[in-house]
Every structure is written in structure tokens, then in C-alpha cells.
Amino acid sequence: MDYSVAEFFNGKYKVLITKDEIHRKVKELAHKITVDYKDKCPVLIGVLNGAFIFMADLVKELHIDCEVDFIKISSYGNAKISSGKIDVLKDINCHLEGRHVLIIEDIVDSGLSVKFLENLVSTQNPASLKFVSLMKKMGAARINFEIDYLGFEIPNEFVVGYGLDYCQKLRNLPAVYLMN
Ligand code: PRP
């Protein structure tokens, strides 16, 4: 089935989290990080592709020095359920030893991606490692993983927009929508 951005703007699908709600939450999370990481110059690592919009909005609200880098992993491809096997498609380029690292995710579903990233980054001996995610699906976890800076707990439904895709499209929707 094909979906178009226009259908979402025309109100055919339900908004789960509005643009304004996202904006307020991003500011709130950024404020907490600003306080907690004062004088620490953290490295923020965005998990591509989904986190690109959230990451961009978040760093603009941080009132501290920071660096950014990206990693691209994939467990879903175009499927709706994680295969459980995770591949690194683009690795982190900076050295993380002794650095304060924040991993930035758009969504935590099964928890397999964040667990994989924790193991991967830990091998580089960072000074600290914490996780930020805009959303976490309730009741979907295959691994219980505590997110340090969490935006919204959402129902276990397929969502799109604000970075999240359906078959690589719909990432550019400014709000988070329910697909069904
Ligand atoms: C999505 C999302 C997270 C991951 C969460 O990425 O961006 O990285 O799945 O799922 P999990 O908790 O079950 O591991 P996806 O592999 O779909 O790639 P994308 O970000 O490019 O859409």
C-alpha cells in the first residue's frame, strides 16, 4: 500500500504527538541535558536515519558546547518487526574514549538497537554513556532498557513522521502520526 504526505496533512490519519507537543518536549529534554552536562562537552551520536530531525532540533536547544556524530544501523529494513540481527551500515568516526557520550534515538521499540549500541560504544571506554529517545513503545520491549532522557511513552502501534518512516517515506511529516 502507498501513502502520501498530502493524505496526512489532509487529516486522513490521526496525530499522536503534535508539532507543539514535540517542540515543548525537545526544549524540556535539552534543558535537562544542558544542566547535567555543563562543562562536559558531550558527544551526541544520532542513530540514522530516524533520529535526524529530533537530533537537529535537540542540539539547537542545548546551551552548552557539544560535538555531534552519527551511526547508521539497521534491524528492520522495510519490515515492521525487527529481524533481531543488527548491522552497522555507517560507523561512528570520532574517538569516544574518555568522552561523555549521549546516544540519540527517535524511538525504542524492542530495545535491541539501544542494547546493541550500548555494547558497541562501551568497548571504546567512554567516561559516561547515556541514552536519549523521543519515544518508547509501551509493552513492546524484548529487552528491558532504561532510557535516561525519554520524551514520550507511546502505545505499541506503528507510527510515522518526525523522522520515522514507512518504506523510507513520510519522515518529513512535522508531527507523529498513527498509521492505522
Ligand atoms: C528504528 C528506530 C530505532 C530502532 C528501534 O530504526 O530508528 O533505531 O528502529 O527499534 P528497536 O528498539 O526494536 O531496535 P530502523 O532500523 O527502522 O531504521 P531507520 O531509523 O533508518 O528508520
| Residue 176 forms part of a structural domain | no
pLDDT tens figures, 44-68: 999 999 999 999 999 999 999 999 9
Which pTM value belongs to this model? 0.95
Average pLDDT over residues 25-43: 98
101: CATH: 3.40.50.2020
Closest protein CA for atom 7 of ligand 1: 50
Integer Cα distance of 60 and 31 in angstroms: 11
Please check whether residue 10 lies inside any domain of the structure. no
Is 68 among the domain residues?
yes
Domain count, the chain: 1
> Average pLDDT, stretch 100-125?
97
What average pLDDT does the segment 62-91 reach?
86
DSSP 110-165: SSHHHHHHHHHHHTT--SEEEEEEEEEETT--SS----SEEEEEE-SS-EEBTTB-
Best probe residue, ligand 1, of 47, 73, 76 (max atoms within 8 Å of C-beta): 76
Question: What's the CA-to-centroid distance between 35 and ligand 1, angstroms?
Answer: 28
| Bond from prior residue into 49 cis (ω within 30 degrees of 0) | yes
* Residue range(s) defining the domain that contains residue 68: 19-155
Q: Is residue 72 part of a domain?
A: yes
Contacting residues for 88 by C-beta, under 8 A, at least 6 apart: 71, 72, 73, 120
For ligand 1, residues with CB inside 6 Å are 47, 49-50, 74-76, 82, 105-113, 165
Asked, for residue 45, whether it belongs to a domain, the answer is: yes
Domain membership of residue 180 (yes or no) is: no
Domain assignment present for residue 172? The answer is no
- Counting ligand 1 atoms within 8 A of each CB, the residue from 75, 162, 169 with the most, and so the one to mutate, is 75
In a domain, 131, yes or no: yes
